[in-house]
C-alpha cells in the first residue's frame, strides 16, 4: 500500500517495489500564496513533492558526472527571454492563473531537485518549466490575435507594457542554486494534489477538495474562467450546468439540466491542460488527450458536403440529461435495468488510472418504439421509427465523497446484474479507472484497485474485431477497393499518407508490411465503427479538450453523452452479426476474459529496475565490443562502405552493423574471398555451401546461421557472422531493457503492459506492448528481473504441449488421442513410432528430433521447410530426403491429422467458400462468400480472395489470399488462445468469489498464466490456478485431456 511520500532514490533502490511503498518523508508545512491557510492540497504538497519528482523522471537515468545547475538554468532563462512576447507575463498573471500555476509547479520541482542535488529530476523539471512558459506565450499570442481585453479593459496589442521582462530562476537569490537558493511558495496544482491523494489512499478529487467550510477555495485557489472571472461555487465545487451567462439551458425543478436546447457552439478552452506527470509517463501521448488528436486536415477539393444521415438525425434527437443530484442518477440506473441494456462511458483527466481520475460518468439507455425492443430496423439500414435514447451525464467533481461512492457503486451494480447488457467501447480503459476509483472511495490505495464483478459486458471494440474476423484488403487490391468506395489519398510533403471518404472524413487503416501479401486491415476505434455501421462521423475534437477544467462546456457534456448513446445501436448491430455468424460462444469467451485482462494490466509485473540497469550497461558494452571487432575484421578484408544518401560529411568507410546494405556488401566480399560466392539462377547472388547447397546472399539470421554452421572454424566469414549475431543480440537486449526501465511505473515500481486481446489476424492470441514482455524469451537472466517483493511468491503455470493437444482435438486423430489419454510423452511417442523402437528406448536427441516433427508438421510444413526448421529451431540436421521420409512417416502415424489437412486445404477454393454476414451503413446487413476457418471455441478467421489462372490455361478461379498454412495453424493457435482466455475468465471469477484481494493476476503470455500471492497462500493458489487451467478444456467440450504444469518461485526464472 502507498504511504505518504517517497524519494526517487527509493525508486532506484535494491527493491523498488518495496522501498517505494514504505518510505515516509516528513516536510515542513507551507503557507499558500496570499497568506491563506493551507488547504489539504497545500499541506500534502510539502509531504509529497518527492512523489511528483518521481513521476516527472520515470523515464530517466541517474548521471554520474557533476552537473552545473546554474548553467542549465541560465541557458533556459536566456531562451525564454528571447522567445517572450512583450506583455505576456503581466497578461498571464492577470488572466491565466491556470497556466501560471503550471509554471509555479515546475519551479517548485526545480527548487526541490536543486536542494536535493538531484540532477536527474532537475533536468526533467527544467523541460517542464520551459514548456509551461511557452504555453503562456502561445496563449498570449492567441488572445492578442483575437483582440481579447485585459481584466482592466485594455486591449492586447503592440503597445502593451511589459516588454523585456526577465524570467527569474526559481530559487535564485543571486548566489545560485548551490549557495542557499530559496524555494518558491507556489500555488498547489491538481497533479500534486492527486499524487498526495494517491499516497494517502484517497481519490485524486479528495486531494484537491478542502473541507465543506472552506468556501470558494478549491485546492488553495479561487476558480476562474478563461477570462480571469471568478466562477460561482457551491460548497467545494464549481457549479456546472447552471445558467452563468451561456445562451440557452435551464435548470429544471427535478434536478436535471437538459442540454437539448443548449447551444453546442460554446467556446472551447484556449489551452489543453498540460500535466507534466502525464507528459513524462506517456511522452508519446503529450498532454491529456493529445494521443487522439489528429493533425489539422488538409484542404480537400474532392470533399462534398454530406447529407444528413438517418443515424445522424437520430443522434441529434438524443436527450442529454446532466445529473444534478444522486436521485437523478438512481433514476438512470433504474431505467437501465428496466431496458435490460445500457451504454456506458467515462471521461477522465488523463490516461493513467493511478494518477488521473474519472471526471464524468455517462450512462445511456434506449427509448424503444412502442411494442418493440430494438432501435435498429430489421434490414440494418437505419433506426427503427419512434426509437431514441437518453444519455445521463454525471460530473463526479460536483458531488461529495459519499455521493460519489454511491454513484460508482451503482455502476458496478449494473455490471454485476446478469439481466443487464453493459455496453462500452474499449471497456478495458473504463474498468481500470473504475477499479482505482472504487478502491479510493473505500479508503484503499488506488493500486492495485478493487476487483469488480462483471456479468454481461459487451465491448463494441472487441465485438467489431470479432465479426471482422481478421479480414483485410491485400495491398494489390487496395487501389481498386479505394476507387469502388470513393476513398481518396492525401499526402502532404513527407507526412503520412491519409485516407478520406467522399465527404472529407478521414478513415484509418492498419498495415502489415512484413507479410508478402501486405494486408491492409480496418481499424476499430469508436469513430471508425460508427462511421462504418451508421454513416455517422463522431466529432472527437472534444476528446482532446481540458477535462480537468473547473467548469466543463456544454459542448463537452454533449460530446460525452453522445459517446455513450451511440453505443446502443452499435451494440444491436454487432450483436446481430455475432448471432448470424455463430460467434456467440466466442463473444462470451472474449467478454468474460476482459476483466482478467484489466486486472493483469492494473496489477503489473514486479521488475528489478536496479539490476536491469546493471544488465543494460553490461550488454551495451558487449554490443560495442562486438561492433569494434566487426569494424576491424571488415577493414582487414578491405571493406569500404558505400556512401549513402544524405550522409554528407558524416560519411565513414567503416562498416555499420546496423545497416543491411553494409552487412550484405561485407558478406559478399568475404564470401568472394573464400570462394563460395555464386550467381544464383534468375537474379542475385548466393553462398555455395560444402555439399553443393546454395543459399541466398542476405543478412537474415536464419540464413546466416546455416551458412556459419557449414564453414570451418578458421573462416573469416564464419567469425564475421558470429560477431554480427552477437552484436545484434546484445543490441536488441540493450534496447528492450532500456525501454522496460523507462516504462517502469514510478508509483508502483512495476511494468504495466498494454494487452491486445484480439490481434488484426483474428486468431485471438494476446499480444503485449509498452512493454512487449515476449521479448524476454527463455533467457533466465532476463526472466530473473521479474522478481516479487519479500513475503510474496510467484505462482507460474503453463499448458503442456497445448498446440499438439488442440491439433488432436480438431483432427480427432486416434493415435495422438491415445498418447494423450494414456499419459505418454507425445514427443517420445512420435520418436518411437518414426524410429520403430519402444518408447522407453528413445534417446534425448531422438526426442528433440520428434519435437521438430510435431510442432512443424501439424502446421503443414513441406519437407524443405521442415529441414530448415529442425536445424534452426532444434539443432537437428537432416538432408532433404531424410526430411521428406520423416514427414511421410509422421502422417502415416497421425493419419487423422493428414485427413484434417486435406479437408482444410479444400476449403480455400471458391466451391467451398462459406457465407459470412456483414453490415455497413449503406447496405445494412448483407452476405459474402468467403474462405474461413473456425476455432474450437467458435472464433472465425476470414480471408479475402484472389483470382488465379488455371494451370491448363482454361480460365481463372478464386482462392484464399495468403499462404496455405494459415488454414492449419489458425484453428490450432486460435484454439490454444481460447483455452487460455476461458481459464483467465474462470480464474478471475474464482479469485473474486474467494475474496482473495491479495492474490494478483499479473501476466499472460502465449500458454502461460502467472499469479502473485502471499507466501501463506502460494500453494493453495497454485492448486486453484492448475485446476482452472485444466478445467478450461472441459468448459470448451474437449475430448482431448488438457494438462497444465505449475510451480511456485521467487521470479519468472524459476518457471519449471
Looking at residue 40, what is its pLDDT? 34
Helices (runs of H) and strands (runs of E) counted in the chain: 34, 33
pLDDT, tens digit, for every residue of 1013-1040? 999 999 999 999 999 999 999 999 999 9
Give residue 426's pLDDT. 97
Instruction: Say whether 248 sits in a helix, a strand or coil.
Output: coil
- The SS3 of residue 742 is helix
All three cell numbers of 70: 546554474
Among the ranges given (129-138, 557-566, 843-852), the one the predictor scored with the smallest mean pLDDT? 129-138
- The Cα 181–Cα 120 span in angstroms is 18
Phi, psi values for residue 679, rounded to 5°: -85, 130
pLDDT at 786 over 90: yes
| CA–CA separation, 929 and 940 (whole Å) | 14
Q: Where in the chain is the domain with CATH 3.30.70.370?
A: 762-813+910-1056
Torsion angle, CA of 1000/1003/1009/1013, rounded to 10 degrees? Answer: -30
Distance CA 390, CA 320 (A): 6
Q: How confident is the model at residue 27 (pLDDT cuts 50, 70, 90)?
A: very low
250 upstream amide cis, omega within 30 of 0: no
The pLDDT value recorded for residue 120 is 60
pLDDT tens per residue, range 475-519? 999 999 999 988 999 888 788 889 998 888 889 999 988 888 899
CA distance 398 to 239: 7
The alpha carbon torsion through 563, 564, 567, 569 (nearest 10 deg) reads -100
Q: Which residues pair with 257 in a beta bridge?
A: 251, 322
Secondary structure E strands in 745-896: 750-751, 754-756, 767-769, 792-799
Rg (CA), the chain: 32
Q: Which CATH architecture group holds 762-813+910-1056?
A: 2-Layer Sandwich (3.30)
Average pLDDT over all residues of the chain: 80
Question: Higher confidence at residue 836 or residue 16?
Answer: 836
Q: How many CA atoms lie within 13 A of 616 on its CB side?
A: 17
Angle of CA points 206, 212, 216, to nearest 5°: 95
Residue 933 pLDDT > 60, yes or no?
yes
**CA 554, CA 909: separation in Å to the nearest integer?**
55
Rounded CA separation 655/666 (Å): 8
Q: What is the DSSP string of 420-468?
A: SEEEESSHHHHHHHHHHHHHHHTT--TTT------SSEEEHHHHHHHHH
List pLDDT tens digits, range 270-295: 333 333 333 333 333 333 333 344 45
Please, are residues 412 and 435 in contact by the beta-carbon 8 Å criterion? no
> For residues 788 and 757, is the Cβ–Cβ distance under 8 A?
no
Strand partners, 5: none
Q: What is the pLDDT of residue 240?
A: 26
Q: H or E element: which one contains 666?
A: helix 660-673
User: Contact, 566 vs 536, CB < 8 A?
Assistant: yes
Q: Does position 644 have pLDDT exceeding 80, yes or no?
A: no
> What is the pTM assigned to this prediction?
0.74
In angstroms, how far apart are the furthest CA atoms of the chain?
Answer: 99
Of 32-46, 198-212, 447-461, 808-822, minimum mean pLDDT range? 32-46
Please tell me the distance from the alpha carbon of residue 343 to that of residue 364, in angstroms, as a whole number. Answer: 5
Could you tell me which residues are beta bridge partners of residue 754?
769
- Grid cell in block for residue 636: 582487414
Residues 6+ apart with CB under 8 A from 308: none
pLDDT tens-digit readout, 852-887? 999 999 999 999 999 988 888 888 888 899 999 999
Looking at the predicted structure, is the pLDDT value of residue 601 above 90? yes
Q: What is the pLDDT of residue 63?
A: 37
421-424 and 457-459 strand pairing:
parallel
In what helix (H) or strand (E) does residue 477 lie, and over which residues does it extend? helix 475-485
**CA–CA separation, 892 and 895 (whole Å):** 5
Outline where DSSP puts E strands in 501-627.
506-507, 509-511, 519-522, 605-606
| Three-point CA angle 671, 674, 679, nearest 5° | 45
Residue 344 CA: distances (Å) to CA of 414, 458, 588: 10, 10, 19
Q: What are the grid coordinates assigned to 40, written together?
A: 489539504
Give the span between the Cα atoms of 693 and 708, in whole angstroms. 13
Express each pLDDT in 789-807 by its tens digit: 999 999 999 999 999 999 9
Report d(CA 377, CA 813) in Å as an integer. Answer: 46
Percent of the chain scored above 70 by pLDDT?
A: 77
H-only helix segments in 290-396: 310-316, 326-339
C-alpha 607/C-alpha 16 separation (Å) is 8
Give pLDDT tens digits for 100-148. 888 888 888 788 777 777 666 676 677 778 888 888 888 887 777 665 4
Q: Which residues pair with 233 in a beta bridge?
A: 238
The H or E element that residue 74 is part of is: helix 69-83
> For 189, which DSSP code?
-
Q: What is the pLDDT of residues 522-546, one digit of tens each?
A: 999 999 999 999 999 998 888 888 8
420 closest CA partner among 467, 363, 362: 363
C-alpha cell at 113: 531537485
* pLDDT of 182 higher than 50: no
Are the beta carbons of 686 and 697 closer than 8 angstroms?
yes
The CA dihedral of 367, 435, 592, 470, to the nearest 10 degrees, is 80
What is the CB neighbour count within 10 angstroms for residue 1006? 15
- Give the separation between CA 938 and CA 912, rounded to whole angstroms: 19
Amino acid at each position: 500500500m502507498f504511504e505518504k511520500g517517497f524519494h526517487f532514490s527509493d525508486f532506484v533502490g535494491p527493491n523498488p517495489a518495496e522501498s517505494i511503498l514504505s518510505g515516509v518523508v516528513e516536510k515542513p508545512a507551507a503557507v499558500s500564496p496570499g497568506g491563506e491557510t493551507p488547504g489539504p492540497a497545500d499541506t500534502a504538497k510539502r509531504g509529497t513533492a518527492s512523489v511528483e519528482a518521481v513521476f516527472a523522471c520515470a523515464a530517466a537515468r541517474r548521471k554520474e558526472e557533476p552537473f552545473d545547475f546554474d548553467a542549465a538554468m541560465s541557458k533556459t532563462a536566456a531562451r525564454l527571454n528571447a522567445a517572450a512576447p512583450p506583455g505576456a507575463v503581466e497578461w498571464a498573471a492577470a488572466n491565466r492563473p491556470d497556466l501560471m500555476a503550471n509554471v509555479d509547479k515546475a519551479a517548485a520541482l526545480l527548487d526541490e531537485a536543486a536542494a536535493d542535488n538531484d540532477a536527474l529530476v532537475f533536468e526533467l523539471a527544467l523541460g517542464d518549466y520551459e514548456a509551461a512558459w511557452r504555453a503562456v506565450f502561445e496563449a498570449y499570442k492567441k488572445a492578442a490575435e483575437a483582440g481579447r481585453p485585459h481584466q482592466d479593459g485594455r486591449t492586447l496589442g503592440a503597445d502593451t507594457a511589459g516588454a523585456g521582462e526577465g524570467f527569474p530562476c526559481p530559487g535564485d537569490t543571486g548566489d545560485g542554486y548551490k549557495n542557499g537558493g530559496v524555494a518558491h511558495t507556489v500555488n498547489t496544482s491538481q497533479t500534486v494534489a492527486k499524487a498526495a491523494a494517491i499516497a494517502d489512499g484517497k481519490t485524486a478529487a479528495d486531494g484537491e477538495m478542502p473541507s465543506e467550510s472552506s468556501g470558494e477555495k478549491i485546492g488553495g485557489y479561487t476558480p476562474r474562467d478563461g477570462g480571469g472571472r471568478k466562477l460561482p461555487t457551491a460548497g467545494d465545487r464549481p457549479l456546472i450546468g447552471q445558467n452563468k451567462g451561456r445562451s440557452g439551458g435551464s435548470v429544471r425543478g427535478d434536478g436535471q439540466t437538459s442540454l437539448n436546447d443548449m447551444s453546442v457552439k460554446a467556446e472551447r478552452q484556449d489551452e489543453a491542460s498540460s500535466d507534466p506527470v502525464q507528459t513524462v509517463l506517456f511522452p508519446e501521448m503529450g498532454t491529456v488527450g493529445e494521443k487522439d488528436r489528429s493533425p489539422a486536415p488538409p484542404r480537400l477539393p474532392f470533399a462534398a458536403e454530406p447529407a444528413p444521415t438517418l443515424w445522424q438525425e437520430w443522434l441529434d434527437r438524443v436527450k442529454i440529461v446532466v445529473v444534478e443530484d444522486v436521485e437523478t442518477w438512481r433514476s438512470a440506473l433504474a431505467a437501465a435495468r428496466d431496458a435490460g441494456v445500457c451504454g456506458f462511458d467515462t471521461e477522465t483527466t488523463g490516461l493513467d488510472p493511478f494518477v488521473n481520475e474519472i471526471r464524468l460518468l455517462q450512462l445511456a439507455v434506449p427509448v424503444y418504439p412502442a411494442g418493440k425492443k430494438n432501435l435498429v430496423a430489421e434490414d440494418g439500414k437505419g433506426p427503427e421509427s419512434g426509437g431514441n435514447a437518453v444519455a445521463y451525464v454525471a460530473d463526479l467533481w460536483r458531488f461529495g465523497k459519499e455521493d460519489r461512492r454511491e454513484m460508482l457503486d451503482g455502476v458496478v451494480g449494473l455490471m454485476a446484474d446478469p439481466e443487464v447488457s453493459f455496453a462500452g467501447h474499449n471497456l478495458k480503459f473504463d474498468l481500470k479507472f473504475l477499479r482505482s476509483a472504487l478502491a479510493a472511495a473505500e479508503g484503499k490505495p488506488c493500486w492495485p484497485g478493487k476487483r469488480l464483478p462483471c456479468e454481461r459486458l459487451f465491448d463494441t471494440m472487441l465485438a467489431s474485431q470479432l465479426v471482422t474476423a481478421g479480414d483485410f484488403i491485400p495491398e494489390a487490391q487496395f487501389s481498386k477497393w479505394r476507387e469502388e468506395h470513393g476513398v481518396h489519398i492525401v499526402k502532404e510533403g513527407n507526412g503520412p499518407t491519409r485516407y478520406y471518404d467522399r465527404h472529407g472524413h478521414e478513415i484509418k487503416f492498419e498495415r502489415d508490411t512484413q507479410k508478402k501479401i501486405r494486408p491492409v486491415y480496418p481499424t476499430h476505434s469508436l469513430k471508425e465503427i460508427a462511421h462504418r455501421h451508421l454513416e455517422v462521423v463522431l466529432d472527437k475534437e472534444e476528446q482532446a479538450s481540458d477535462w480537468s477544467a473547473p467548469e466543463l462546456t456544454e459542448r463537452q457534456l454533449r460530446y460525452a453523452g453522445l459517446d455513450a448513446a451511440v453505443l446502443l445501436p452499435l451494440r444491436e448491430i454487432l450483436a446481430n452479426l455475432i448471432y448470424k455468424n455463430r460467434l456467440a460462444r466466442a463473444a462470451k469467451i472474449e467478454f468474460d476474459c476482459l476483466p482478467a485482462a484489466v486486472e493483469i494490466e492494473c496489477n503489473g509485473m514486479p521488475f528489478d529496475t536496479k539490476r536491469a540497469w546493471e544488465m543494460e550497461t553490461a550488454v551495451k558494452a558487449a554490443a560495442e565490443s562486438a561492433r569494434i571487432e566487426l569494424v576491424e575484421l571488415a577493414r582487414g578484408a578491405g571493406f569500404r562502405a558505400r556512401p549513402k544518401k544524405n550522409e554528407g560529411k558524416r560519411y565513414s568507410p567503416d562498416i555499420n552493423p546496423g545497416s543491411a546494405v553494409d552487412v550484405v556488401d561485407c558478406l559478399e566480399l568475404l564470401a568472394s574471398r573464400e570462394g563460395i560466392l555464386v550467381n544464383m539462377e534468375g537474379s542475385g547472388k548466393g553462398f555455395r555451401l560444402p555439399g553443393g547447397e546454395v543459399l541466398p546472399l542476405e543478412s537474415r539470421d536464419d540464413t546466416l546461421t546455416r551458412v556459419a554452421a557449414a564453414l570451418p572454424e578458421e573462416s573469416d566469414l564464419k567469425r564475421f557472422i558470429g560477431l554480427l549475431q552477437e552484436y545484434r543480440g546484445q543490441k536488441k537486449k540493450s534496447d528492450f531493457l532500456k525501454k522496460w526501465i523507462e516504462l517502469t511505473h514510478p508509483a508502483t515500481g512495476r511494468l504495466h503492459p498494454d494487452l491486445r486481446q484480439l490481434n488484426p489476424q483474428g486468431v485471438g492470441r494476446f499480444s503485449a506492448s509498452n512493454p512487449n514482455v515476449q521479448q524476454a524469451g527463455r533467457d533466465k537472466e532476463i526472466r530473473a528481473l521479474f522478481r516479487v517483493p519479500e513475503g510474496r511468491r510467484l505462482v507460474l503455470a503453463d499448458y503442456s504441449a497445448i498446440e499438439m493437444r488442440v491439433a488432436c482435438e480438431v483432427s480427432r486423430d486416434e493415435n495422438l488421442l491415445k498418447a494423450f489419454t494414456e499419459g505418454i510423452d507425445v514427443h517420445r511417442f512420435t520418436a518411437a513410432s518414426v524410429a520403430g523402437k519402444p518408447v522407453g528406448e528413445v534417446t534425448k536427441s531422438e526426442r528433440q528430433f520428434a519435437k521438430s516433427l510435431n510442432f512443424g508438421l501439424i502446421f503443414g510444413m513441406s519437407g524443405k521447410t521442415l529441414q530448415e526448421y529442425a536445424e534452426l529451431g532444434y539443432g537437428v540436421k537432416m538432408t532433404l530426403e531424410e526430411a521428406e521420409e520423416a514427414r511421410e512417416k509422421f502422417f502415416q502415424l497421425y493419419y487423422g491429422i493428414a485427413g484434417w489437412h486435406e479437408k482444410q486445404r479444400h476449403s480455400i477454393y471458391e466451391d467451398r467458400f462459406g457465407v459470412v454476414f456483414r453490415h455497413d451503413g449503406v447496405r445494412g446487413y448483407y452476405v459474402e462468400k468467403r474462405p474461413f476457418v473456425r476455432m474450437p471455441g467458435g472464433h472465425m478467421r476470414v480471408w479475402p480472395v484472389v483470382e488465379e489462372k488455371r494451370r491448363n490455361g482454361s480460365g481463372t478461379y478464386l482462392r484464399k489470399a495468403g499462404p496455405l498454412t494459415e488454414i492449419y495453424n489458425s484453428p490450432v493457435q486460435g484454439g490454444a488462445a481460447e483455452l487460455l482466455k476461458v481459464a483467465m475468465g474462470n480464474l478471475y471469477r474464482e479469485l473474486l468469489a474467494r475474496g482473495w484481494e491479495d492474490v494478483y493476476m499479473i501476466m499472460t503470455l502465449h500458454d502461460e498464466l502467472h499469479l502473485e500471492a502471499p507466501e501463506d497462500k502460494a500453494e493453495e493458489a497454485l492448486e486453484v490456478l492448475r485446476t482452472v487451467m485444466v478445467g478450461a478444456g472441459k468448459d470448451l467440450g474437449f475430448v482431448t485431456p488438457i494438462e497444465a504444469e505449475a510451480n511456485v518461485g521467487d521470479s519468472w526464472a524459476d518457471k519449471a
